[in-house]
Chain A
Amino acid sequence: MEFDLSDEQRAFADSLSRFLQERYTFEHRRSAVRDQTDETTWRDISALGVPSLLVPASAGGFGGVASDLLSVCEAFGRTLVLQPLLPGCVMSTVALASAAISPEVHALLERMAVGEARVGWAHHEARLDAPLTTQARRSGEGKWLLDGTKVHVLYGARADAILVSASEDDDTGRTGLFLVDATLPQVRRMAHTLVDDTPAADIELQSCPALRLDVDTNETIDRVALWGTFASCAEAVGVMEAALQLSRTHLGQRQQFGQALSAYQSLRHRIAEMAADLEICRALAVGAAVALEGLTSTGDVSLPQARLRIAQAWQVTSRLSLRVCETAVQLHGGIGMTEEYPVGGLLRRVVCLNHLFGQGRQLARQLAHMTAAIAA
C-alpha cells in the first residue's frame, strides 16, 4: 500500500499551493466576485499546467490520473478558488478525452490543455429524475441540432464550448453527448450566481448545431459523474483543512472572560472532532482516487466496485464536511456569520457541493442499492 504522493506530484502540489496562497487571497476573491471578473487567475493556473492535467498526452496534455488531481482539488478547496476546475478541467476533459480520436475534439483538447478553451458540462435539467427533455435531431444536411434547456451549468456564461446531453430524436431513443460552440446565436445563456459565489448559467438551445461525440454516452456520463464526485471529495478535504486552520487560529487569538477561547474544554473538543473528521475524509479521498485509477489504468477494479467506493467516500465526506464547516462558523461566533470573513464561504462551498453531488439519506439509499447490486 502507498498513501503518499509521488515526489513529482508533491512538487506540483507545493507550487500550486504556494501560488494560490500568495496570489489568491480572500481579498482577491472578494474583488473577483464584486467585479465579476478575474482573468489573471485563469491565465496563471493555466501556465502552471492545471487544465492540462487530465488532457491525454496525445493532445499535448499531462495525461494524468486521479491521484494527480487530488492535491490540486484540495488546494482549490483551501482557497475557495472561483475557477472552472471541476466542470472544465475535470468533468468535460474526462468526457472529451474518451472521444479524442475525432479531429475536432482533439483540436479542442489541445486548446484546453493550455487554457485557451474552457468547456462547460451541461447535463442537469430542471426536472429531476426524469428522462432528458433536451432533444437532438438531424437537420436536412444530416447535421445534429439541439433544442432544450440545461440548468446550473457551472461557469457556463463564459465557457467557449459546452458539452450537452440530449436524447436523440430517432428510433433508438439513445442519449447522446454533444459539443456545442457556446458563442453561437442559437445558444442563450442566462447567468446567475450560486450561493457559494460560483458563476453559473441556465442555457437554452434553439436549433443549435452540435457535434455528436462518438462515445458510449451512458458510460461516459457515469464516468464523468465519478470523476466529479471524486474531485468534490478532494476539494471538500481542502475546505475542511481551511475550516480547521481558521478555527484553531481564532480560538488562539480571541479572548473572552479573561482567557483565550482555546482554554475552554468544550471548544477544544470541537476542534478535536473536526480534526478527526478531516482525517477520515482525507483517507477516503485517497481511496476514491485509487478506485478511479483501478478503473482506468490497470483495470483491476470493476465499475460497480469503483462506483461504490466513490459513493461511500462522498457519503461520508459530504456529511462530515458540512458538520466541520458548521462547527467552524459556530466557533467563530458573530464574525463567522459575516460575508467578509472566509469561514462562511467554506460552509457555502460544501453546501453547494452537497447539492451538486448528492447528500444525506438519498445518497445512503443509493449506496444500499449499489451494495445489493454487487452482492446479487
Chain B
Amino acid sequence: MNLDFTPEQEQLRIDVRRHIEAELPASVQQKVRRGEFLDKHEVVNWQRSLNQRRWAAPHWPREYGGLSLRSVDKLIIQEELYRACAPMPLVFNVDMLGPVVLRFGTDAQKQDLLPRLANADLWFCQGFSEPDAGSDLASLRTRARREGDHYIVDGQKIWTTHAHLADWIFALVRTDLDTKPQRGISFLLIDLKSPGVVVRPITTIDGQHHLNEVFFDNVKVPVSQRVGDEGQGWDCAKYLLSNERTGIARVGYCRERLQHARDLLQRRLAVGLREVEAEDILIDVATLEAELRGLELMNWRFMYSQEAARGVPAHASMLKLKGVELQQDIASLLMRISGHEGLRRPAPQDWTDIDGLQTATSRYLYSRSVSIYGGATEVQKNIIAKTLLD
C-alpha cells in the first residue's frame, strides 16, 4: 500500500500550478474566492487559456482536444484549480455533454461540437428537470414531435443553472408517448436563440440569479441536432450522470473552503473575536479537516483500486452523499465565523466591494442546494440501499 503520486503526476501538478500563477487574473481569483459571479468573458477566457494546454477537457481523446488523461490525473488538475480559486471548465460542456457526444454522437457531431465545447465557443446548459419531473426524471413531459427533418419542441424545463449565460441547451424530450416512459425519451441540442425559446430567471434563497425556467413554444429543432437514436435519450442521460464521478466528492473545493475558514477567522480575531470562541471554531475546523481526509482517501481508493470500486457498486452515490454533507457543514462553519458580518443581504451591485465574510451567509444558503441537485441525498441513499438489500 502507498499513497504516493508518480513523478509524472507531480510534474502535472507543478505545470498546472505554474500555468495558473502566470495566467489567472487576480480579479477573477478574488471573485471566485468570495463567491461573486464572474462575467461571461472571464469564464470563457479562462477556459480558453486552459484549453491551450488541453486542460479544459483533459479526459477526452487527443484527437478531439484532450489528453486521454485518466480520471486520477484529471483530479490533480481539478484540485489545483480549486486550490487557486480558478474557475472550473464549464462542467456541462466538458464533463456532461462532451462524453455523451463521444459515446453516442455521429462523427459529424464530434467534429463540429467537441472543439467548440472544449474552447467554450459554445456554452451549454442542461435541460433535464421539469416542474413535475425532479428526482423522478423519467416522468418528463416536454414533447418533441417529428415533422420531416425537424422536431417541434413544446414544454418547460426548470432549475436550469446558468441558462441566462448559455448559448445552447441539451434537453431530454419525449419523442414517443406510446412506449414505456424511459424508452420514449430523446436527447436534443437546442439553440437558445431559436424562436419560441424563453428563459426566465428564478431568484434563489441567497437572493441571487443562478437558476432559470426555460420555456419551449413550437421550437423548431433539426433532427441532426439529436444525439443518439430516437428513444435513446434515457441511455444518454444515464451515461451522462454516471460519467461525472471524478469530481463528485469535491475534495479540492472543500479544502480551499477550509483554508478560507482559517483566513476569515484571522480577520475576525483582528476585529475583536474572543480567543476562546476562535479556539472553539478551530476545533470544528480540525474536525472537518479530518472528515475531509476521510473523503479524500475514500475517493482515491475507489479511483485507484478497481477491486474496491467493483466491491462497492454504489460508491459514486457514497461520494456524493458524503461530499455534500461536508460541503454543507463547511458552509455552515463559514457562516458561523462571519457572525454579524454575514447578516446584511448583499445587493448585486455591492459584490465587488465585499469579501468572504459578507458573502458567507449567502453561500451557506445556496449550499443547501448541493444535496438536492445531481441526485438528491435521498435518491443516493436509495441507490446505495438497493445494492445492499435487494
Chain A positions near chain B (C-beta within 8 angstroms): 1-5, 67, 244, 248, 251-252, 262, 265, 268-269, 271-273, 275-276, 279-284, 286-287, 289-290, 293, 309, 311-313, 315-316, 361, 364-365, 367-368, 370-372
Contacts and interface: CB of A to CB of B under 8 A. Distances in A.
Contacts of A316: 290-291, 293-294
Given A276-B384, A286-B301, A315-B290, 20 more contacts: A1-B4, A2-B1, A3-B1, A3-B304, A5-B1, A248-B388, A262-B390, A271-B385, A271-B388, A272-B382, A272-B383, A276-B321, A284-B293, A284-B294, A286-B297, A309-B293, A316-B290, A316-B293, A367-B286, A367-B287
In order of increasing CB-CB distance, the 10 nearest A-B pairs are A283-B297, A272-B384, A268-B385, A312-B290, A272-B381, A368-B286, A367-B286, A283-B298, A3-B305, A280-B294
Interface string B301-336: 100110110001011011001100000000000000
Nearest to B290: A312
B297 A265 contact: no
Contacts of A283: 294, 297-298, 300-301
B156 interface: no
Given A293-B1, A309-B293, A272 B286 contact: no
B283 A265 contact: no
B301 to A, nearest CB: 5
Contact of A268 (B72, B287, B315, B381): B381
Contacts of B314: 272, 275
Contacts of B4: 1
Contacts of A364: 283-284, 286-287, 290
Contact of A4 (B307, B315, B321): B307
B1 A290 contact: yes
A282 B304 CA distance: 14
B147 interface: no
Given A2-B2, A279-B318, A290-B2, A248 B389 contact: yes
Interface in B348-389: 378, 380-385, 388-389
Contact of A289 (B1, B284, B321, B384): B1
Nearest to B305: A3
A287 B388 contact: no
Contacts of A286: 1, 297, 301
Contact of B322 (A1, A268, A276): A276
Nearest to A262: B389
Interface of B: 1-5, 72, 279, 282-287, 289-291, 293-295, 297-298, 300-301, 304-305, 307-308, 312, 314-315, 317-318, 321-322, 378, 380-385, 388-390
A1 B283 CA distance: 30
Given A276-B321, A290-B3, A367-B287, A3 B301 contact: yes
The B interface, classified by DSSP as helix, strand, loop or mixed, is helix
B285 A368 contact: yes
B381 A3 contact: no
29 contacts: A1-B2, A2-B1, A2-B2, A3-B304, A4-B305, A251-B389, A262-B389, A265-B382, A269-B381, A271-B384, A271-B385, A272-B381, A273-B321, A273-B381, A276-B322, A281-B294, A286-B301, A287-B3, A315-B290, A316-B290, A316-B293, A361-B283, A364-B283, A364-B286, A368-B279, A368-B283, A368-B285, A370-B286, A371-B289
A281 B390 CA distance: 24
B381 A279 contact: no
Given A252-B389, A269-B378, A293-B1, A367 B384 contact: no
A279 B289 contact: no
Contact of B293 (A275, A282, A287): A287
B377 to A, nearest CB: 9
Contacts of B317: 272
A183 B340 CA distance: 66
A275 B319 CA distance: 11
B287 A3 contact: no
A293 B2 CA distance: 9
B290 A367 contact: yes
Nearest to A362: B283
Contacts of B390: 262
A365 to B, nearest CB: 5
Nearest to A265: B382
Given A279-B318, A283-B298, A286-B297, A272 B291 contact: no
A251 B378 CA distance: 19
A244 B388 CA distance: 9
Contact of B382 (A268, A275, A371): A268
B286 A268 contact: no
Given A4-B305, A365-B283, A67 B1 contact: yes
B290 A1 contact: no
A167 to B, nearest CB: 31
Contacts of A279: 298, 301, 312, 315, 318
B283 A272 contact: no
A276 B279 CA distance: 30
Contacts of A2: 1-2, 304-305
Given A276-B322, A279-B298, A1 B385 contact: no
Contact of B289 (A3, A273, A312): A312
A324 B72 CA distance: 30
- From A279, A309, A315, A364, residue with most partner B Cβ within 10 Å: A279
A265 B390 CA distance: 12
B27 to A, nearest CB: 29
Contacts of B380: 272
A39 B193 CA distance: 81
Contacts of B383: 272
Given A1-B304, A279-B318, A284-B294, A315 B2 contact: no
B309 to A, nearest CB: 10
Contacts of B2: 1-2, 290, 293
